[in-house]
Structure 1
């Protein structure tokens, strides 16, 4: 009987550990794939559009959409069956040969979450190396010795007939192991 109780308690403990939110701002790249990607069978994966040697593992759940203590999970349309609901997502970018996550793409379709992300980046990274300060489609780059951050925010996006600020952040290690 004690064994059964012990096994149940262990199962509950492990489940609670797996439900912890992962704060992307605290991740130091590259990181072993197995640390963040637990059940890849259930994930949508495809070659990353900007670097086909990296495989993008897509997440839309709030557990993975946290940056600098900000929950960035949301969508324009609550009807997620809509053809294009504008649901915020994360792609973990994996080098399958090295079994390492070498970057990530975080895409927000919602104004509030896009602003949270932008403010968090400014707070964490300080002044950018490049900022075109465009009022419609702004491009910003931060670079340090280990990583490069490319941030784009479109201030005039329209999704599901709703005006929104849409943002895209790509973070990559400076030296990809291709």
Structure 2
């Protein structure tokens, strides 16, 4: 990791995430006629989000798709800022900034595809997953080694927490 990325990560106060292709692998398995679908979330990402919350980093999800499963996962992980089914991710970003009294350099955002570029191009720390399209990977500060839905969020959170010199103290909490 280069010094510029480390410096940007040091200032992160809120982590916003796209869902499909970031917290999940991006595949959809249709369910019932009621519109239910199946998504797979990686447990390491969940632990990473818990670590971020314990470190005082605010969390949020911004997705173009609505999903009861995502709502349930966000509730389970105590993610307070959840905007699903949004057509304007930039508007959702500005809503998060206003709600939390933050500015763009305070925000890290991880997205994986073209609709995320409008947010990725504005935040303090932009990140994407290893399997994102080249058009996205070439425009962000950090590309994870992990693919979407396979621990990429945890990887970004550990980068942020290491840059803020908080990771080891949080790990120590699991040894007590």
For the superposition of Structure 1 and Structure 2, which TM-score range results when normalised by the shorter chain?
Answer: under 0.3
Q: Is the radius of gyration larger for structure 1 or structure 2?
A: 1
TM-score with structure 2 length normalisation? 0.25
Select the structure that is richer in strand: 1
Q: Which structure is higher in RCO with an 8 Å CA cutoff and minimum separation 6?
A: 2
TM-score with structure 1 length normalisation? 0.25
